[in-house]
Structure 1
Amino acid sequence: MTASNKKRAIFLDRDGVINVDNGYVSVVDDFEFIDGVIEALQRLKDKGYLIVVITNQSGIARGYFTEEQFHTLTEWMDWSLVDRGVELDGIYYCPHHAEYGIGKYKMDCECRKPKAGMINEAVQELNIDITQSILVGDKVSDIQAGLVAGITTNYLVRTGKAITTQGEELATAIYDDLASAVETIQ
């Protein structure tokens, strides 16, 4: 397949980028879209980007909620976006944690950010041109995953975790939220 057949994508962290990070969000009642996110996602679609969510979900590993609860919430989020004209092209998650995981979830995997497993899987499955893609996250591990995967444009937003010095050094740019980042994306 030639590079011209490949698609550009926006890789988005979930908690702190798409929804308010209320800490281990696992039920609809705790899920709140960040102001302006739905419109920003619509604009990204209009600009021709695939939208791919990549999210660490250590709450599953820690036993705070089940994978089934995560899938129920994810399905609700996905349909809520479709109802507003935004179809996500991929949703990838990591349920593992090497230190705090319990049972089968206690493992050092390739999918947990800052590793690039989720991004690499999406690139293969969705025929993504990584060189034309962008990552938007709210913490250093998001940016590190983008860099490891070969993404050269990695943005941080201030709607999630506090921006660290390391984040400032690694990020291509820092924006108040996804909506302001989208304004600069061609």
Structure 2
Amino acid sequence: MASPIFPHLAKPVKLIVLDRDGVINEDSDAYVKSLAEWIPIPGSLQAIARLCQAGWTVAVATNQSGLARGMFSATTLDDMHLKMQQLVMEEGGRIDLIVHCPHDPDDGCECRKPKPGLFRTIAEHFNLPDLKGVPVVGDSHRDLHAGMLLGGEPYLVKTGKGLRTLEGTLPPGTRVFDDLAAVVDHLLGSAA
């Protein structure tokens, strides 16, 4: 699959949207609540760096209802994201945009995946009408569904909750990979 390129921008963008927990870092049913609990999945940081070095723009869209539940503070979340950014930078990459939903599932917001609010924010940030053709990488149905509402292409990883997600019916056209590194191998291999 060729990378989506948006020529109407000052600089063409090859964009990818990643979920955080279960894709970049280890997930937990008890939530990732502290800096010490934010542990990268082996190979994920290097995979992001490889994308950046190949000219991709990386965005992260993540539900963080632990904020609304009082499990951690906004400062702790910022610290986790700073750690993620620093570790990716040490590998020679960067994350261009991180957006999160701080709401509880019962709050009725428009940003919590599977609703498309976070993806709409990403599209607006990069001056895009939608995310048509943009790889959306997640480990759950809600990640894939939210991205597809704006035209994103679903990529499921088996890390995090991915194996559980595989037990259900996947959205049409979903590509399945072992982890983020395998997704990147595919994207960079098919772009060559």
TM class, shorter-length: 0.7 to 0.9
Q: Partner residue of 1:141? A: 142
The answer on 1:20 being equivalent to 2:26 is: yes
> Aligned Cα RMSD in Å?
1.9
* Deviation at residue 84 of structure 1 after TM alignment: 2.0
Measure, in 2, the Cα distance between the counterparts of 1:21 and 1:170: 25
Instruction: Tell me which residue corresponds to 1:118.
Output: 118
Q: Which structure carries more helix by proportion?
A: 1
What does residue range 64-75 of structure 1 map to in structure 2 within 5 Å? 64-75=71-82
Aligned to 2:3: none
Is 1:109 the counterpart of 2:109? The answer is yes
Tell me, yes or no, if the aligned pair for 2:45 and 2:87 is still in contact at 8 Å. Answer: no
Which residue does 1:83 correspond to in 2? 90
1:168 partner amino acid: L
Contact 1:26 1:65 in 2 (8 A): yes
2:23/2:180 contact within 8 Å kept: yes
Q: In the superposition, relative to structure 1, how do residues 137 and 108 fare at CA in structure 2: closer, same or farther (>3 Å)? A: same
- Using the TM superposition, give the Cα deviation of residue 91 of structure 1 relative to its aligned residue in structure 2, in angstroms: 0.3
CA contact 1:156–1:171 (8 Å) conserved in 2 = no
Give unmatched runs, 5+ long, in structure 2: 1-5
1:60 aligns with 2:88: no
Letter in 2 for 1:141: R
What's the CA shift for 1:30?
A: 0.9
1:127-147 deviation line (CA, Å, top 9, x unaligned): 346224110000000011011
Provide Cα deviations, 1:94-152, integer angstroms capped at 9, x if missing partner: 000242xxxxxxx211110001111111111123462241100000000110111221x
Question: Which of these residues, 99, 111, 120, is aligned with residue 92 of structure 1?
Answer: 99
Give the whole-Å Cα distance in 1 for the aligned partners of 2:169 and 2:44: 22
Matched, 1:4 2:4: no
Q: TM-score, normalised by structure 1?
A: 0.87
Give the match's secondary structure for 1:113.
coil
Unaligned runs of 5+ in 1: 100-106
1:29 aligns with 2:32: no
Q: In the alignment, what sits opposite 2:155? A: 155
Change (3 A) 1:9 1:146: same
CA distance in 2, matches of 1:163, 1:40: 22
* Contact 1:8 1:130 (C-alpha < 8 Å) held by counterparts: no
Deviation at 1:69, TM superposition (A): 1.3
Structure-2 residue corresponding to 1:102: none
d(CA) in 1 for partners of 2:54, 2:169? 27
Q: Structure 1: how far apart are the matches of 2:132 and 2:23? A: 22
SS at 1:61 equivalent = coil
Aligned-residue sequence identity (percent) comes to 36
* CA distance 1:170–1:24, change in 2 (3 Å): farther
| Kept in 2: contact 1:168–1:174 (CA 8 A) | no
